[in-house]
Amino acid sequence: MRWSEFAARQRVLAAVAHDQLIRPGVVLAGTTRSDGSARISGVEPLIMEGELWLSMMPVSAKARDLYRDPRILVHSIITSPSAQAEIMVRGTVRAEAAADVQRRYAASVVAHLGWRPVPGEFALFAVDITDVTYIGHDDGSNAQHVARWPAGEEYLRPSLTPTTLGPPSPVRRLLAQPAEAPGAGG
């Protein structure tokens, strides 16, 4: 699913995801090495034409991983224990080598990220989103707040000790109700 489709279906969660994942300008991209182990690499995300795009050097290890196995986990950067939330986007990538798309991407990078990629000299991937997870903390109660889409799960887990969480209690703060989804009958 394209970023714009996710955002249309889950406006609140998508706004939080954009703020925590895209706005900082760097994400961690989890890929799978040829031996099956995980690789984590920093990448600059960009939303362009309704898609979440990631670019990288074409001969980089992470690009080689994605050409071989398109599965990806895009994870927000956590810089301190007081981070507002953690966002994880799971999906697959589609490599994009078309010259016109690379030119539009390069122009968008100049406008939004401030550096000048050279079309044809980078690997460009669009992320097809299959799952978005939010993990944050409830204001005041110190409970862990989890929301998963499209699973439709959202709950709070109270902090019992610094390393123990209690049972989940359902809430609806980030996920749209099923009747609120575009095209839902009602």
Q: What is the DSSP string of 89-144?
A: EEEEEEE---HHHHHHHHHHHHHHT-----TTSSEEEEEEEEEEEEEEE-TTT--E
pLDDT digits (tens, 9 = 90+) for 29-66: 999 999 999 999 999 999 999 999 999 999 999 999 99
Q: What is the pLDDT of residue 142?
A: 81
Mean pLDDT of the chain: 93
Asked whether residue 74 carries a pLDDT value surpassing 90, the answer given is yes
123 exposure class (CB count in 10 Å sphere: 0-12, 13-18, 19+)? buried
Q: Could you please state the CATH topology (level 3) that the domain comprising 3-136 is classified under.
A: Pnp Oxidase; Chain A (2.30.110)
